[in-house]
């Protein structure tokens, strides 16, 4: 039997992904680190034309912002290091304050508005924490939740106001179909309750966590899992890999991400099924 021809680009359904890098990274660096994942998604979803957008966070970090930073001998001034963050964590406040988070959210809102609509969002570490915030912000009714929490003080901290960039004139984006959070975590304390509570995050989220992750505490990752509706653990939406703080590129974890995406896309297209390639024909992840 002759093999099925691969659909042309013009006949494939678009699948647009927003990719959010981690603290001290950048869009181009995360692009390089996630190529095994995006390549596997495109390879195993031949009926879709996958595009991935990699914005860089707005806050350029200084050496003092980076744990364990050591100056290099490259001759590049320390102030020119290519390391960025979506916010800086200030431990001088109790509970900790995310300084610059409004700028980080505004950067994402601009990309959503100008380059959307997106189907899903994938983030790593700080970018995963931000991805969970973004899917919540795009859900209906979330603005009212923020307004209620902004009136209440818990442990001396009032809830953060609804981010202005997500209600600016002209901003428009539908709720996302899914999120994948690698080494994600929940923002600390009651200040950021609006992202996660009354109700919990309704958008389907796949959590991929490293059992040897020494950067993000297990309790913080579990707090994000608990902030998602339903029972993510029992529903197969929490996956552990036997490594540390990175995106796993081994086949089982790439396949798990693709299966999750397929399930969410099917929800929006009835019983339509993606015809997958035989695993023996797939490229080995790199």
Check if the beta carbon of residue 139 is closer than 8 Å to that of residue 176.
no
**Alpha carbon distances (Å) from 220 to 44, 99, 121, 156:** 32, 19, 20, 21
Active site residue 74: no
245 is catalytic: yes
pLDDT at site 79: 62
Provide the pLDDT for residue 116.
93
User: Average pLDDT of the chain?
Assistant: 88
pLDDT at 77: 57
**Residue 268 burial (C-beta neighbours within 10 Å; 0-12, 13-18, 19+):** exposed
Q: Which of 31, 113, 173, 245 is catalytic?
A: 245
Name residue, tokens 């950048």.
26
Q: Is 252 helix (H, G, I), strand (E, B) or coil?
A: helix
Digit-by-digit pLDDT tens for the chain (286 residues) are 445 555 555 588 999 999 999 999 999 999 999 999 999 999 999 999 999 999 999 999 988 888 776 666 555 555 668 899 999 999 888 888 999 999 999 999 999 999 999 999 999 999 999 999 999 999 999 999 999 999 887 777 789 999 999 999 889 999 999 999 999 999 999 999 999 999 999 999 999 999 999 999 999 999 999 999 999 999 999 999 999 999 999 999 999 999 999 999 998 654 444 444 433 333 322 1
pTM for the complete prediction? 0.88
DSSP-derived pairing of the beta strands 178-182 and 153-154: unpaired
Catalytic, out of 213, 221, 241, 249 = 213
Query: What does the alpha-carbon distance between residue 210 and residue 90 come to, in Å, rounded to a whole number?
Result: 25
73 is catalytic: no
Closest CA to 123 of 113, 115, 131: 131
What is the token pair recorded at 58?
A: 């707005």
Q: Which residues contact 122 (CB under 8 A, 6 or more apart)?
A: 17, 18, 19, 20, 34, 37, 52, 131, 179, 180, 182
- Cα separation of 206 and 183, whole Å? 11
Q: Which of 34, 125, 183, 249 is catalytic?
A: 125
List of domains in the chain: 11-63+78-271 (3.40.50.1820)
User: What is the pLDDT, as a whole number, of residue 5?
Assistant: 54
pLDDT score for 233:
95
């Amino acid at each position: 039997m002759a093999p099925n021809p691969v659909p042309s680009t013009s006949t494939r359904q678009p699948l647009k992904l927003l990719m959010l890098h981690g603290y001290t990274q950048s869009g181009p660096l995360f692009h390089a680190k996630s190529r095994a994942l995006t390549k596997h998604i495109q390879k195993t979803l031949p009926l879709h034309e996958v595009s991935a957008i990699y914005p860089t966070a707005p806050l350029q970090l200084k050496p003092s912002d980076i744990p364990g930073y050591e100056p290099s001998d490259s001759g590049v001034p320390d102030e020119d290091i290519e390391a960025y963050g979506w916010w800086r964590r200030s431990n001088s406040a109790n509970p900790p304050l995310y300084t610059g988070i409004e700028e980080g959210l505004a950067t994402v809102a601009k990309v959503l508005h100008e380059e959307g609509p997106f189907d899903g969002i994938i983030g790593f570490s700080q970018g995963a924490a931000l991805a969970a915030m973004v899917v919540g912000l795009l859900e209906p009714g979330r603005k009212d939740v923020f307004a209620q929490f902004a009136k209440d003080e818990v442990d001396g901290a009032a809830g953060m106001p609804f981010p202005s960039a997500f209600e600016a004139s002209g901003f428009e984006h539908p709720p996302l179909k899914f999120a994948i959070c690698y080494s994600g975590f929940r923002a600390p304390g009651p200040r950021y309750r609006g992202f996660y509570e009354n109700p919990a995050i309704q958008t389907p989220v796949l959590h991929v966590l490293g059992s040897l992750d020494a950067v993000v505490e297990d309790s913080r990752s579990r707090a994000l899992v608990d902030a998602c509706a339903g029972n993510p653990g029992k529903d197969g939406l929490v996956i552990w890999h036997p490594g540390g703080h990175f995106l796993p590129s081994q086949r089982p974890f790439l396949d798990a991400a693709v299966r999750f995406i397929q399930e969410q896309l099917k929800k929006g297209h009835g019983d339509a099924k993606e015809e997958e390639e035989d695993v023996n024909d797939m490229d080995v992840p790199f």
